[in-house]
Each structure stands twice: as structure tokens, then as C-alpha cells.
Amino acid sequence: MRFTLALIVSALIASPTPAADDGFTDLFNGKDLAGWVNVNCAPSTWTVEDGMIFCTGKPIGELRTEKMYENFILELEWRHRNKQGNAGVFVWSDAITAKGQPFIRAIEVQVLTGMEGDWYTSDGDVFAIHGARMTPDRPHPKGAMRCLPSEKRTNPGGQWNHYKIICNNGTIKLHVNGKEVSGGYDINPRKGYICLESEGAPIHFRNIRIKELPSSGELKPEQIAEADKGFKSLYNGIDFTNWQHGEKEKDHWKAKDWVIDYDGKGGDLWSEKEYGDFELMVDWRWSEKHTTQQRPVILPSGEYAVDAEGKQKTVEVDEAGDSGIYLRGSSKSQVNIWCWPIGSGEVYGYRTDKNMSAEVRAGVTPKVKADAKIGAWNRFHITMKGDRLTVVLNGKTVIENAQLPGVAKNGKIALQNHGNPIQFANVYVKELE
């Protein structure tokens, strides 16, 4: 019996020889995104086609593993669709994006093609981003925590490239198409998630597999990335899914990649869903030039400071605007964003309500001003449990377990229209039992 070459090849493809057990396991099953978490992108950003993960590149964001990893060897293949393309592989990353960034604190392995600069290449740079630390194997000419590759081995856009990334005991080594070219050491954190990055260009990933290596032993807290705490993104960077975005809002609240850009006109932007007890993470910054204004001085009691004649005291501040975040469907339970001397985070509707007790009014008055400079990003971490509110601004607790008598048990969240341009980003919510 004779077989044609075509029949032989067809049989080999249909019945491949089982691979040797080399200790690797698949991180991508070739069928769906099981085992992966879409951090801050639209569902359409990350899909599976023809046994590959396809990323549209829009918006900027990440797809990460469900599991954290410490020491491991990661192998994968990638191919940009175009001659020029930008993406990345993050290792030892946090669970969600850094303040004021679409990126996660991590060590980034650059996935770039067709672009070169005086401080970066398209051939396998490795560098620390947004709070991670690394000493490059070779000093960077501009002093950055970035290792430039020793040689050019990356294939151009449209062709496949193979990466082997070895992460062990706080060191990283990158092999591009079979040869080590870059790396770093003294890395923190050194345990975390693995991410694929979307950064503007369509790209395929395939054959993603990992081999875990023995642990280095007990790690210090700062050597471990921030774990998944159950936060889910409410903004996908493409459109206003999850929000009530109708005729009144569409020309004023705009999706600009990872940023929600508001021009100060139109109505408030309300969530579609109602929330009871929850934690809310949201970044914001003023997008308008500031002016100089006189604003009232507020005492720790929540009362306005007055002089000997009973006249309200004021001080000069840089004024950029007024906004806030409505909780449980009410403007009264609003966490203020403004430039007053007392700082953002206060609950104006309760502080100024004379029917509230002195304890309530003092409780909703910020303990400290924690705002960043105008134009810089701020991060709120707001917790609502029953009628109790805690507000952390830029890592400082400004409101702690304050009571909001009469607040609804459930309600929608809103980003407030108060007539001033402002930007929001990284809107995450965690529902509590």
C-alpha cells in the first residue's frame, strides 16, 4: 500500500506525537480565557481566535492570570499584526492598575516592534514600572531601571517571536528567539501576577506555558504584589457600559481610552446598578487651569471658622473646580472633590445639616488634607457599610467610620456634574456581604 506525502503530513497533523513531560503547564488552553482576568478592558479587547489570544490594543489595559507566581519559567510566542506595534508582558504585578495609570505596578518585558529611541528598543527591553524596583543587568545610558538588550533578535511585525522569561529569586532573564538578551536583579516585588498588555496595537499571543520553580522561602510583605481583593472594573475604556449614558451625557462624558473625560456640562453620570455595602476605588484629577480664590476655613467640628466680629474666615487657595461622588443614589451622601482648605473627602450634605448631631458633623469632616497638586492624579478608596463611611485619599484616611443617618440601604453611584471639567479613571467596585 502506497501513501502520498500529503496523506502522511495530514496524519501527522491529526495525531501529533505527545510532548515529553518537561514540567511545563499551559497558561492558555487555546479555546477560551479560563484562568485569566480582564483587569480594565472591554470584553472585545481580549478574545480567542484560531487557538490564539487576540488583543485589539484598545483600550490600554491588561489581562492577568488568576494566580500569583513567585519563581518560574514562562514561555510564549507573540506576533504584532502591523509593522509597528506596542504591547508587553508584565511579571510580578499587582492585581489592579496603579494610581493615575492604565498600567499595573510590575516588571515589564517589552513587546515592541518597528520603533527605536534613545532610551528604548524593539528587541526585548526589561524594566520596572510604576513603583516596582529593579537593577538592570547593564546600566541604562540615561540611568533608568531598564535593561537594553545585548543584541537585536526580534523578528519584524507580522512574524512570530518566542520569549522565554526566567523569574527566580528576584532576578529576571529574557531570552528572545533562543538567546538571552536582557535582565535585571534586586527586584521588588518578586511574587505576583503575570499580565498581557494592551497598548494600542493589534497583537496575537499563543503557546503560553509556565514551569514553576521552587520557592525562595518566606518573603517580606514588600516583596509580594498586591493580591486580588475582589475589585471589578466599572469602566471599560471603550464605552459607557455599566453607566446611564444618554442624550444628556453623551456629548459631555467621553470615553478617551482609559480616562473618562468630562467637560463640566450636562448631567451627572450614574451607574446602572444599585449598590448596598461596597468598596469603591476611583482616580480623579482636575483638567482645567486653576485660578486663585478665597475659600472658607472649616474647623475639625465641621463649623466654619469666624473672626472676632463673627465674620467667616477665608484663605487664598488654588481653585480648579468642584465635583464629587454620590453614594447610594443621593447627592446628600456625596464625597466631595474640591479645592477648599479642608481638602477633598468631606460629606457636605451632612456637615452643613444643622439637624445632624455635632458628632455626625465632625465625623464627616476630613481629618487631614490629602489632595495631590492640581493636575496630578488622586485616588479615593471609599467604603460604605450600613450607614458608616470611610474615605481614604491617596493613602491617608480622611474620613473614618463616619455615620450617615438616614442614608439609603441601596442606591446607584454617580460621578457628579458641578460645572467644572474633571477626569476620572480606574473605577473599581467591590460588593460586600
Same domain assignment for residues 193 and 245? no
Question: How many domains is the chain built from?
Answer: 2
Q: What is the CA radius of gyration of the chain?
A: 25
Q: Above 90 in pLDDT, residue 24?
A: yes
Q: What digits encode the pLDDT tens for the residues 417-429? A: 999 999 999 999 9
Nearest to 282 by CA among 231, 239, 225, 333: 231
Q: What is the pLDDT of residue 21?
A: 73
Q: Confirm if 21 and 210 have CB atoms less than 8 A apart.
A: no
Same domain assignment for residues 211 and 244? no
Place of cell 540611568: 143
Whether 202 is in a domain gets the answer yes
Nearest to 300 by CA among 246, 353, 361, 240: 361
Q: How many CB atoms lie within 10 A of CB 104?
A: 28
Same domain assignment for residues 154 and 267? no
Q: What is the pLDDT of residue 8?
A: 34
Among the candidates 228, 247, 279, a domain finishes at 228
417: CB partners within 8 A, 6+ apart: 252, 262, 264, 265, 266, 267, 268, 269, 323
Cell of 140: 541604562
Same domain assignment for residues 341 and 399? yes
Distance in Å from the first CA to the final CA of the chain: 70
Pairing type for strands 72-80 and 161-168 reads antiparallel
More confident residue, 7 or 315: 315
Partners of 261 in the β-ladder:
254, 423
Range of the domain at 74: 18-228
| CA 37/CA 289 separation, integer angstroms | 38
Same domain assignment for residues 179 and 313? no
In this prediction, residue 3 has a pLDDT band, given cuts at 50, 70 and 90, of: very low
Q: Confirm if 266 and 248 have CB atoms less than 8 A apart.
A: yes
pTM of the complete model beyond 0.75: yes
Nearest to 177 by CA among 113, 90, 82: 113
Same domain assignment for residues 26 and 104? yes
Q: What value does the mean pLDDT of the chain take?
A: 94
Q: Give percent of the chain above pLDDT 90.
A: 93
Q: Give percent of the chain above pLDDT 70.
A: 95
Cell of 225: 504584589
Q: Confirm if 198 and 63 have CB atoms less than 8 A apart.
A: yes
Same domain assignment for residues 222 and 237? no
Same domain assignment for residues 192 and 44? yes
Same domain assignment for residues 125 and 266? no
Burial of 117 (C-beta count, 10 Å sphere; 0-12/13-18/19+): exposed
Q: Confirm if 105 and 94 have CB atoms less than 8 A apart.
A: yes
| CA 350/CA 363 separation, integer angstroms | 9
Give mean pLDDT, residues 128-141.
Answer: 97
Q: What is the pLDDT of residue 4?
A: 39
Give mean pLDDT, residues 74-100.
Answer: 97
Cell of 88: 508587553
DSSP label of 169: T
CATH number at residue 353: 2.60.120.560
Q: What digits encode the pLDDT tens for the residues 194-217? A: 999 999 999 999 999 999 999 999
Whether 199 is in a domain gets the answer yes
Same domain assignment for residues 211 and 264? no
Q: Confirm if 31 and 208 have CB atoms less than 8 A apart.
A: no
